[in-house]
């Protein structure tokens, strides 16, 4: 079989000078970062010690940034097109035997309530006395059930165990010790400095509610149907009430919260320098604060470059993963079609339509590799021609079963092609978007080819396949309907 039309993917990792360029850039960033870090350790720790808080804010920023990037880099799949591995889905929750909310008593598939207690405390560091007030979480309860996530192509089962769930707030109430909720739903003793107020908040994922999911699809040992569950190879397992936009908004808010924390820390440090109370200890100088700012900036740049490099590599690996799923479906079709041809042999008499259909099916079976063009309707068209030529085939249970499996495989090939194209398009787009394109250019990453879906079956010529008749003469099926001649005998 000719491989002119076969897809050839570039490597997922940079080749040639790419790895050396990446290593050189990281070294360039690391040297001043280490120098600034040493100065900060010697000076900042003595004076006002804001660096640990800044490092914490930077870590928090990139924690949400990685989640945000993972979501926007992963295209949303259809349930029917779910393959083994990471998957992003959006649909509606379904459950025949749901649980109920602790406080709202709504039917739901996941529910949790937390209890916070209000406190008022006086603390002293030996030099100055302060009043602290706020809410402290003292209790938490959670329960859930397996549920189905349904979209317009089907339903897939989901195990929410160990998932990071963001639900809808259905109940929120602050009560005093006279309220039955105070002790009835929380048996914990009161904390130090309690003011006698407790706040109960319940979040849930209700039945028949919109939900977004990012997780790992797997298959049980005793089943062929995939389901979604936590997997150690993919620590990020998210279930959100609402849509993908709601999840992106949550992660974006986390990033902005970290940025706000960094700004607040620097503003507080400047305030301490110019207006600080000596009783709180030395406030440092603008020089030391400038060193801390340089250190924070270098730390951010190094982390950004490292994370986005790995982000690009991860995206490219997922493109290869999507390509592997497509290859599996081609192999599945190649295994099914010989059985289908055997089922037809008992009915065919080498009429032109039969010869042409069998030849077309066999040509499809030979396509064991992903092509740059995928025809979504060819096998269905050929099977329809066979059924019209031989009505008795419709009563053949084996034929009907093979027909259904082949039709399902063709749909899976189309979905796998779309899955691959979505990942490849996202990966190619990142190579052009600023500022992440700088990382791609420095490491010499290249684009992936896309697959074209041919909706018209006549756009692809059907290869000739000779069929040996009972008389021993070779009978060649007619050429494609686009050709001038209706038949061509060998």
Phi, psi of 51 (to 5 degrees): -60, -45
pLDDT at residue 129 in the model: 80
Per-residue model confidence (pLDDT) at position 465: 32
CA-CA-CA-CA torsion sign (98, 104, 110, 111)? negative
Q: Which residue has the higher pLDDT, 198 or 130?
A: 198
- Categorize the per-residue pLDDT at 281 as very low, low, confident or very high, splitting at 50, 70 and 90: very low
Q: Which two tokens stand for residue 164?
A: 């990071």
Distances (CA, A) of 193 to 116, 121, 482: 13, 5, 86
Same domain? 208 vs 339: no
In a domain, 171, yes or no: yes
Q: Residue 446's closest CA among 13, 26, 6, 75?
A: 13
Q: What is the pLDDT of residue 134?
A: 93
Which pLDDT score is estimated for 77? 84
∠ Cα 372 373 379 (to 5°): 140
pLDDT for res 34: 85
Q: Please say whether the dihedral angle defined by the alpha carbons of residues 337, 338, 340 and 344, taken in this order, is positive or negative.
A: positive
Residue 297 lies in a domain: no
Same domain, 471 and 328: yes
- For the cut 90, the answer to whether the pLDDT of residue 112 exceeds it is yes
The answer to whether residue 226 is domain-embedded is yes
Asked if the structure places residue 339 within a domain, the reply is: yes
Same domain, yes or no: 236 and 326: no
d(CA 83, CA 228) in angstroms, rounded, equals 10
Q: Are residues 323 and 174 in the same domain?
A: no
Please return the burial class of 184, using the count of CB atoms within 10 Å of its CB with bins 0-12, 13-18 and 19+.
exposed
> Does the pLDDT of residue 223 top 70, yes or no?
no
Name, of 77-86, 112-121, 412-421, the range with top average pLDDT: 112-121
Q: Which residues does residue 231 pair with via DSSP β-bridges, in sequence order?
A: 234
Structural domain total, the chain:
2
Query: Can you tell me the mean pLDDT for 364-372?
Result: 55
Helix (H) or strand (E) holding 26, with range, is helix 18-47
Which of 242, 276, 302 delimits the end of a domain?
Answer: 242
Closest CA to 68 of 234, 306, 312, 253: 253
CA–CA separation, 305 and 152 (whole Å):
39
- 104 confidence band (pLDDT: 50, 70, 90): very high
Is the same domain home to 198 and 331? no
Distance CA 89, CA 76 (A): 5
Domain assignment present for residue 340? The answer is yes
366 and 227 in a single domain? The answer is: no
Least confident stretch, 139-143, 211-215, 285-289? 285-289
Confidence of residue 380 (pLDDT cuts 50, 70, 90): low
Is 430 within the bounds of a domain? yes
Kindly state whether residue 207 falls inside one of the protein's structural domains.
yes
- Angle, CA of 201, 207 and 213, to the nearest 5°: 85
Poorest-pLDDT segment among 158-162, 222-226, 315-319, 392-396: 392-396
- 216 & 350 share domain: no
The rounded mean pLDDT for the chain is 77
Query: What does the pLDDT read at residue 197?
Result: 94
Segment 334-342 mean pLDDT: 69
- What is the end-to-end Cα distance of the chain in Å, rounded? 20
pLDDT at residue 346 is higher than 70: no
Percent of the chain residues past pLDDT 90, beyond the cut: 30
In a domain, 298, yes or no: no
CATH classification at residue 468 = 1.20.1440.20
- Across 135-158, b (16+ Cβ under 10 Å) vs e yields eeebeeeeebbebbbbbeeeebbb
d(CA 185, CA 192): 20
Looking at the fold, whether 326 and 459 belong to one and the same domain comes out as yes
Domain's final residue, options 184, 219, 242: 242
**Of 222, 242, 262, which residue constitutes the final position of a domain?**
242
Complete DSSP assignment for 357-407: HHHHHHHHHH--S-BSEEESSHHHHHHHHHHHH-GGGGG-HHHHHHHHHHH
d(CA 410, CA 421): 16
For residues 323 and 205, state if they share a domain. no
Claim to verify: residue 352 and residue 222 sit in the same structural domain: no
Q: How confident is the model at residue 392 (pLDDT cuts 50, 70, 90)?
A: low
Alpha-carbon gap, residue 57 to 39, rounded angstroms: 20
Query: What share of the chain has pLDDT > 70, as a percent?
Result: 72
Q: Are residues 327 and 229 in the same domain?
A: no
CB 99 within 8 A of CB 145: yes
Give the CA distances from residue 237 to residues 95, 166, 405, in Å, rounded to whole numbers and listed in that order.
20, 11, 32
Most confident listed range (188-192, 196-200, 222-226, 357-361):
196-200
Asked if 342 and 450 sit in the same domain, the reply is yes
What is the span of the domain harbouring residue 458? 312-475
What sections of 48-141 are H helices per DSSP?
A: 51-73
């Amino acid at each position: 079989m000719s491989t002119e039309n076969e897809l050839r993917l570039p490597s997922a990792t940079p080749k040639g000078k790419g790895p050396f360029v990446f290593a050189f850039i990281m070294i360039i960033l690391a040297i001043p970062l280490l120098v600034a870090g040493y100065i900060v350790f010697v000076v900042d720790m003595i004076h006002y010690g804001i660096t640990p808080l800044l490092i914490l804010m930077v870590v928090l920023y990139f924690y949400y940034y990685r989640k945000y990037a993972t979501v926007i880099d992963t295209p949303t799949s259809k349930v029917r097109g779910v393959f083994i591995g990471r998957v992003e889905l959006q649909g509606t929750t379904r459950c025949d035997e749901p649980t109920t909310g602790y406080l709202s008593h709504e039917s739901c598939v996941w529910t949790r309530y937390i209890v916070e207690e209000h406190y008022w405390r006086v603390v002293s560091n030996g030099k100055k006395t302060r009043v602290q007030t706020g809410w402290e979480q003292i209790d938490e309860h959670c329960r859930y059930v397996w549920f189905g996530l349904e979209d317009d192509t089907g339903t897939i089962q989901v195990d929410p165990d160990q998932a990071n769930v963001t639900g809808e707030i259905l109940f929120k109430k602050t009560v005093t010790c006279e309220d039955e909720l105070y002790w009835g739903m929380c048996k914990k003793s009161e904390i130090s400095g309690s003011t006698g107020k407790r706040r109960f908040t319940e979040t849930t994922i209700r039945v028949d509610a919109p939900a977004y999911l990012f997780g790992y699809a797997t298959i049980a040992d005793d089943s062929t149907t995939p389901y979604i569950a936590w997997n150690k190879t993919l620590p990020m397992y998210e279930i959100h009430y609402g849509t993908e936009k709601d999840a992106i908004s949550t992660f974006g808010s986390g990033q902005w919260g970290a940025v706000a924390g960094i700004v607040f820390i620097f503003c507080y440090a400047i305030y301490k320098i110019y207006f600080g109370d000596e009783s709180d200890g030395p406030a440092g100088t603008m020089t030391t604060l400038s060193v801390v700012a340089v250190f924070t900036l270098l730390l951010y740049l190094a982390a950004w470059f490292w994370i986005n490099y790995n982000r690009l590599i991860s995206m490219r690996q997922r493109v290869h993963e999507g390509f592997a799923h497509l290859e599996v479906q081609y192999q599945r079709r190649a295994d099914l079609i010989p059985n289908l041809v055997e089922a037809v042999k008992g009915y065919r008499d080498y009429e032109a339509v039969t010869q042409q259909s069998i030849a077309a099916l066999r040509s499809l079976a030979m396509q064991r590799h992903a092509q740059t063009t995928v025809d979504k309707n060819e096998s269905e068209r050929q099977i329809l021609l066979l059924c019209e030529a031989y009505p008795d085939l419709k009563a053949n249970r084996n034929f009907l079963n093979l027909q259904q499996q082949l039709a399902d495989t063709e749909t899976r090939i189309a979905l796998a092609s779309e899955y691959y194209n979505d990942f490849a398009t996202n990966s190619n787009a990142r190579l052009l978007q600023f500022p992440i394109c700088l990382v791609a250019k420095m490491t010499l990453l290249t684009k992936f080819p896309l697959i074209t879906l041919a909706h018209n079956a006549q756009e692809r010529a059907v290869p000739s396949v000779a069929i040996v008749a009972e008389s021993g003469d070779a009978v060649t099926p007619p050429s494609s309907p686009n050709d001038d001649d209706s038949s061509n005998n060998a």
